[in-house]
Amino acid sequence: MNKKTFARIWLVLKEDRLKLIISLFFAFLSSVLMIVIPFIIGKGIDVIVGVNNVDLVKLLDYLIIVLILSIVTAISQFEMAHINNNIVYSLSKRLRDEAFKKIQTLPLNYIDTHPYGEVVSRIITDVETFQEGLLLAFTNFFTGIVTIGGTLIFMFMINWLIAISVVVLTPLSLFVAKFISSKTYSLFKKQGQIRGEQTALVDEMFNSLKTVQAYNYEEESLERFIKVNNELSACSFKATFISSLVNPSTRFINSLVYAFVCLFGALIATGTLRNIGPLMVPLISVGTLSSLLSYANQYTKPFNEISSVISELQNSFACAYRVFQLLDTPSEAEDKEDAFVFEDVKGDIELSHVYFSYTKEKKLIQDFSLKAKKGQNIAIVGPTGCGKTTLINLLMRFYDIDSGSIKIDGKNIYDAKRRSLRGVYGMVLQDTWIKKASVKENIALGKPGASEEEIIEACKKARCDSFIRRLENGYDTIISDEGNLSVGQKQLLCIARIMLCLPPLVILDEATSSIDTRTELKIQKAFNELTKERTAFIVAHRLSTIKEADIILVMKDGNIIEQGRHEELINLNGFYSELYNSQFVKN
């Protein structure tokens, strides 16, 4: 069991420690009362001496006491269970909230390098498993410890010799439990890792189902799933099998202890065993023997429960470790204490001697410089992987540059607050995102307080007003990424967002890739109007859409190899001319 993980769990329980103390009080109370009950029952048995020799008055008194103690015990156990559930479920809620908040602050390179399904598995499955293990620990662990201590005290009060015998024999079950459980932590940790891989694979195949079916990749994807599933099955079987050995092993040892007490106590009660060497063994009554047997059973039972809890906690702690790993992932660098907020941005942008690589081994953007004035349209073209989208990521500070500087209106973006920086950009990407909400809420994503008239006007400019009105409830229709909207319609809604915000800086990354040519021409006019007095960066594969750009940057291997207006670059007969003319070549 990882000590650091245990310390971290204790730390996150800080808010619930008062509840935990109250729960411990009820655990202590119920355990003590459960221990007292066999003692009273033993007293009751001793007043039943024989035929026609029963003290009914005392027996009735004992029965009433047992009834009262049983009722108080039941209430205490109910309250303890209620508080424990409250602690565990509020803790799991906080962990999921923290994990989701952490996702919002994670740097983009973490999201790019970790499968979505694996991250989802940590937030959902691992927290759930941790929650179940912790609940089991709270329910059985504390009561078990109190029960062990209490029964020992009563056994020593009744007959110290039998008590010593029980104490000597019982630790054997703990040694067995510790030996077995020490083998299971690494297995449960590996199980969580493979489960995350399986979830990631299912997520990948589900989201790419059309592609899988289009390329007849079903059998290969099934083979991949079977391979991961077999690994998970083997690891889970081994972990569960080894951990399940704990309970029967400890039960066997504890049954031997119970049998020993039964035999030893009977010999003492009948007077058969009066002396053990020089020691005189005191006689015990039948009622006392009954109490001792109950205590022997109560004393050994928590060892079974605690050993089971320890086994479950191995799995629970392994899952907690994975959750804490996610929570401990470094977030984006904090804004400087004196970071400023962009206000009244004109739109002048300057990149000076920028160097950036995703990994040190593979260089990408090297000594990149650019100046863009307010109102200019800067088109970025080049082959796949040349750094077009990377440049956009640097402008938005989704990634931090290795060296150099990026300035807006002469101010370094690294001296500004991130939210302020991203607030001056309006962005339309090739990949659309529609949240589950009304059409109005989706369009007003970047301007929550927008009026309905503003939203409708933006939709008209984006050429999506007509299809929105044809929806079931018009602008109040609930839509989502999994809805019936086409990819093109979703992209039009994303364009409407930027039409509504009217930011000083605009980024269009293949913004019309899923729209028909006729609609694209209309939207292009709207974009021309939108970007007339705004600095715009336009990433395009269809070079015919950026012929009117003020500056065309031709990128290759992270460097600008050509720049200028369309006519100038065509006349150069260089790489841009080759790219442009290749669009019209007929095979």
Inter-axis angle of helices 56-105 and 127-158, nearest 10: 150
**Model confidence pTM above 0.85:** no
- Tens digit of pLDDT for each residue in 361-418? 777 788 888 888 888 888 888 887 777 778 888 888 888 888 999 999 999 999 999 8
Confidence (pLDDT) at 282: 67
The strand pairing partners of 507, in sequence order, are: 427, 537
Low pLDDT (below 50) residues in the chain: 587
Instruction: Determine the length of the chain.
Output: 587
Confidence (pLDDT) at 118: 79
- Tens digit of pLDDT for each residue in 254-313? 777 778 778 877 777 776 666 665 666 667 777 877 888 888 777 777 776 776 677 677
Confidence (pLDDT) at 75: 93
Confidence (pLDDT) at 496: 87
Q: Name the residue among 262, 299, 257, 265 with its Cα closest to residue 282.
A: 265
Buried b (16+ CB within 10 A) or exposed e, 295-318: bbbbbbbbbbbbbbbbbbbbbbbb
The type of residue at 352 is S
Question: Pseudo-torsion of CA 457, 459, 462, 467, nearest 10°?
Answer: -140
Residues whose CB falls within 8 Å of the CB of residue 504, separated by 6 or more in sequence, listed in order: 345, 346, 347, 424, 534, 535
Pairing of strands 48-50, 53-54: antiparallel
- Starting at the edge strand found earlier in the chain, the sheet holding 349-356 runs 365-372, 349-356, 403-408, 411-412
Rg (CA), the chain: 36
